[in-house]
Structure 1
Amino acid sequence: MSENLRLDGRQVDQLRPISFEPGIAPNATGSVLVSFGNTRVICSATIEKRVPGWMNAQGVEGGWITAEYSMLPYSTLDRKPRDSSKGRVDGRTVEIQRLIGRSMRAVVDLKKMPGMTLWIDCDVLQADGGTRTASITGACVAAKMAFKRLMNDGVLAENPMENSVAAVSVGVWQDLEVLDLPYVEDRDADVDFNVVMTSAGEFVEVQGTGEEATFTQEQLDRLLSLAKKGIAEISDMQSAALA
């Protein structure tokens, strides 16, 4: 398979080295430093004993999960200004925050965390492609740690998290269908997908586009198969980190 090697020496269906360092932020209810190759993100989960005002106004039972995402100024080669210095949150940041929140809510029974909001904070220390997929993957680990702690402390009667969730990128780069793209591949990819799935193999979200290119049904099927393979491996790594 040497003809299928990529710039970093991986096979087309091979993940970057992935690691989890739990407990990176002691003041959070749960936290982890997740690394996908050179992409590194601190993910924390912090419980707040209140819910958004709209839930009270509409009489919605249970709790809520919401997320904030940011790329630290030194996470990229050229300094990235903080949103606070620009006076606004850019559209990409809002999109990723909503994606993280949706992904987490897909695997949590919100009725089992009444009157509580779980805040997910994802701060990118180093960006080399796949920051949103790493954030979702790390957020799941941080949330599981948080829920376990809340149960041990008697705050929750049962675990609200029914399943695990993880994400990975796939794409078409130099006519190859590849898994887990670093920046150099993502930048030049003809087709780029971000796939979010549960550990049970169910899709949560699929974001895909042709970058000035098109793709066939057959390519789409192969890309989704690649993503499913990668997420199954990532789910095993999440379980090992939590164990």
Structure 2
Amino acid sequence: MADAALVRSLGRAAGEMRPVTLTPGVMKNADGSCLAEFGDTRVLCSATIEQGVPAWRKGTHAGWVTAEYAMLPAATSRRTPREYRGRKGRSMEIERLIGRSLRAVTRLDRLGEVTITLDCDVIQADGGTRTASVTGAWVALHGALWTLVERGQLPRLPLTGQVAAVSAGFVDGRALLDLDYPEDSRAEVDLNLVCTGDGRIVEVQGTGERSTLDRSQLDELLDLGQAGIAHLVELQSAATGYRR
């Protein structure tokens, strides 16, 4: 294998993430917000609190957490047409992932009949937009829940912990953490991992793009991913002051 094939963006090692920044409180009108930056990928995450829940949850005395995801037209090198209801295939799959991930660490039964919507808007895409969305959305959710505590609507944060996500994959035969777009576009195997702050797996999305993988290779990617998520959880704690 040529040495040039081993060079990663920013000269990173195989198990090294891009620089990650989580900046909370970036939107005046949102109940919680976060700008999540994974290298050149930037996602603006906002949380909005609304009274009431979907019709199918009325009368349960439990809340709901949901998400919407979109990529702005100029987020990629070539303009991406806006998506509209009825033709949101990829975006719908990602927003469902974000919603599932956040609900995994939220005590909906302690929220009351309130809906919190997380809007994740990609303003610049260079790989890993869904993982940046999950990670930043937790920070925004924390901000919204803290708003409810400050208003006296909740006695404490209805969180069981943190949740974050990261990508990993095999590129040119090597297991790599946190793929940027050039790596993701030529990966033989691509995997997205969502875990709680204590390392429990919420979701694994893995695809053999150009080859298959065996169990030992899957374990290698999971180990890489969980190490990356541990780093992201530390950054979330630093951004919010949250400690379980």
Shorter-chain TM-score tier? over 0.9
The AA in structure 1 aligned to 2:221 is: L
Q: 1:176-195 to 2 correspondence within 5 Å? A: 176-195=174-193
Aligned-residue offset at 1:241 = 1.1
Q: Give per-residue Cα distances to partners, 1:116-174, cap 9 Å, x unaligned.
A: 00100000000000000000000000111111121011121221111000000000001
| Number of the residue aligned with 2:25 | 23
- What SS does structure 1 have at the residue aligned with 2:102? helix
| Number of the residue aligned with 2:87 | 89
| Number of the residue aligned with 1:38 | 40
Q: Distance in 2 between matches of 1:117 and 1:157?
A: 17
Identity %: 50
Gaps of 5+ in 1: none
Which is further off, 208-217 or 190-199?
Answer: 208-217
Q: Distance in 2 between matches of 1:134 and 1:52?
A: 27
Q: 1:65-104 to 2 correspondence within 5 Å? A: 65-84=65-84, 88-104=86-102
Is the Cα contact below 8 Å between 2:187 and 2:210 reproduced in 1? Answer: no
- What SS does structure 2 have at the residue aligned with 1:192? strand
| Number of the residue aligned with 1:156 | 154
Which is further off, 31-40 or 89-98?
Answer: 89-98
Q: Give per-residue Cα distances to partners, 1:82-118, cap 9 Å, x unaligned.
A: 113xx63321011001000000000000011111001
Gaps of 5+ in 2: none
The AA in structure 2 aligned to 1:231 is: I
Is the Cα contact below 8 Å between 2:138 and 2:164 reproduced in 1? Answer: yes
Is the Cα contact below 8 Å between 1:166 and 1:234 reproduced in 2? Answer: yes
Q: 2:46 matched to 1:48?
A: no
Match of 2:123 among 115, 122, 125: 125
- What SS does structure 1 have at the residue aligned with 2:113? coil
**TM-score, reference length from structure 2:** 0.94
Q: Distance in 2 between matches of 1:60 and 1:146?
A: 21
Q: 1:132-143 to 2 correspondence within 5 Å? A: 132-143=130-141
Match of 1:12 among 6, 10, 14: 14
Match of 2:114 among 108, 113, 116: 116
Is the Cα contact below 8 Å between 1:112 and 1:158 reproduced in 2? Answer: no
